[in-house]
């Protein structure tokens, strides 16, 4: 039997059982619109790439990490000082977690400014926002795991904020901490969230998000007539370009890890006083600084409670962005969304910087 005939028969056998030609056909027909904002499309792919890096480095970290108060810090220190390239794995995991959240934010704002959330992509937006929330959850839960002074007290502050929420706040804080205060039970719970619960939900939701992107295709910014638009084949043209970007991100990650290795700090001591200038990770800093600015009492309300309620309401409004003014004209809706997006970007950048400086 000639080689080509054998190859065809093998591929037919595989297609009959897996339907792989369907995937190939989809890839053959998938196109990416080419316009001034095409570069924004890469951020979704970069975010996905960083999720992959998180998964791989996370699994490697699990080979040595021990989630108990007595062993957590020492196991991370052992990994960083005794295990070959252990420092690299941890530094890349930490740096890529931060870059991942940054890229997820950029991806979200690119969707807002190109109005890619509009019909029929409302569910794509919702799944994306949920994924961003999960990423923040990964950041919050992972921050505690090395069990150092900064992470311990930052978690204390974070769960205190949760506790100050009305009605369910104290119960949520108790559930997160596994008791009245941050301790061994908190570490175990955060570890479970970080390596089991959040990954399961995240991978399911990433599947849904990608499926929706595949179904609706890449969104073309409003105002550009689709008929006049040039298109690029997703595979291999766009995919290879994305691959180049991924390599670039890998180089950035390697540089950050080698020149600024993620520090370990001092082992957490619950009996010591909180380190001076304790603050959360940068992605929670704007909200943290805003809460600090609110007076302790505003009218009849407790200032912090009012701030948290305000953030809750604003987050809900933001999540429902695709449904704003459904009865109005598209142009008016998009103008509002762009305005809100610009305001939010300015607020986040300014207050994050102020949170660091002050």
Q: Which residues bind another protein (CB under 8 A)?
A: 77, 80-81, 87-88, 236-237, 240-241, 243-244, 247-248, 250-251, 254-255, 258-261, 263-264, 266
Closest approach of another protein to the CB of residue 34, in Å: 12
Sole residue written with tokens 């008791």: 179
Alpha helical stretches, state H, the chain: 3-18, 20-29, 42-62, 72-81, 86-113, 122-144, 149-163, 169-177, 184-192, 198-216, 239-259, 282-293, 303-319, 330-357
Q: Closer to another protein by CB, 169 or 275: give it.
A: 275
**CA gyration radius for the chain?**
23
Closest approach of another protein to the CB of residue 10, in Å: 26
Closest approach of another protein to the CB of residue 38, in Å: 14
Q: Closer to another protein by CB, 185 or 245: give it.
A: 245
Closest approach of another protein to the CB of residue 266, in Å: 8
- Give the number of other Cβ atoms within 10 Å of residue 197's Cβ: 14
User: Is the separation of the CB atoms in 38 and 237 below 8 Å?
Assistant: no
Q: How far apart are CA 316 and CA 337, in angstroms?
A: 14
- Enumerate long-range contacts of 347-355, CB under 8 Å, 24 or more apart: 347/286, 348/105, 348/286, 350/286, 351/285, 351/286, 351/287, 351/289, 351/290, 352/282, 352/285, 352/286, 352/289, 354/289, 355/279, 355/285, 355/286, 355/288, 355/289
DSSP 320-352: TGGGTTTTS-HHHHHHHHHHHHHHHHHHHHHHH
Q: Closer to another protein by CB, 21 or 233: give it.
A: 233
Closest approach of another protein to the CB of residue 243, in Å: 6
Q: Closer to another protein by CB, 251 or 349: give it.
A: 251
Q: Closer to another protein by CB, 235 or 336: give it.
A: 235
Closest approach of another protein to the CB of residue 291, in Å: 31
Strand (E) or helix (H) holding 224: none
Q: Closer to another protein by CB, 250 or 309: give it.
A: 250
Q: Closer to another protein by CB, 93 or 334: give it.
A: 93
Closest approach of another protein to the CB of residue 198, in Å: 27
């Amino acid at each position: 039997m000639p080689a080509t005939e054998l190859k065809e028969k093998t591929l037919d056998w595989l297609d009959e059982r897996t339907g792989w030609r369907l995937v190939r056909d989809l890839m053959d027909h998938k196109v990416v619109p080419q316009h001034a904002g095409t570069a924004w499309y890469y951020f979704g792919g970069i975010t996905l790439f960083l999720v992959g890096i998180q998964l791989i480095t996370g699994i490697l970290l699990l080979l040595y990490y021990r989630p108990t108060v007595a062993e957590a810090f020492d196991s991370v220190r052992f990994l960083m000082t005794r295990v070959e390239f252990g420092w690299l794995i941890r530094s890349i995991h930490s740096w890529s977690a931060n870059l991942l959240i940054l890229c997820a934010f950029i991806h979200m704002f690119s969707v807002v400014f190109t109005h890619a959330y509009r019909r029929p992509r409302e569910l794509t937006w919702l799944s994306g926002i949920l994924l961003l929330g999960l990423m923040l959850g990964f950041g919050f839960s992972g921050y505690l795991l090395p069990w150092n002074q900064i992470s311990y007290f930052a978690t204390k502050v974070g769960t205190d904020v949760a506790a100050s929420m009305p009605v369910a706040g104290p119960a949520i804080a108790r559930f997160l901490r596994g008791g009245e205060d941050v301790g061994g039970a908190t570490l175990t719970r955060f570890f479970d969230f970080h390596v089991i619960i959040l990954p399961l939900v995240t991978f399911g939701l990433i599947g849904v998000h990608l499926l929706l992107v595949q179904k609706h295709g890449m969104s073309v910014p409003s105002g550009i007539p689709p008929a006049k638009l040039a298109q690029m084949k997703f595979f291999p043209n766009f995919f290879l370009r994305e691959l180049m970007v991924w390599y670039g991100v890998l180089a950035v990650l390697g540089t950050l890890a080698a020149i600024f290795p993620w520090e370990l700090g001092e082992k957490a001591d619950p009996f010591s006083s909180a380190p001076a200038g304790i603050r959360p990770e940068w992605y929670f800093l704007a909200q943290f600084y805003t809460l600090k600015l609110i007076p302790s009492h505003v009218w009849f309300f407790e200032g912090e409670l009012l701030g948290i309620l305000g953030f809750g309401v604003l987050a809900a409004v933001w999540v429902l962005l695709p449904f704003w003014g459904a009865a109005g004209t598209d142009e008016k809706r998009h103008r509002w969304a762009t305005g809100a997006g610009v305001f939010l970007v300015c607020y986040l950048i300014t207050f994050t910087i102020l949170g660091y400086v002050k």
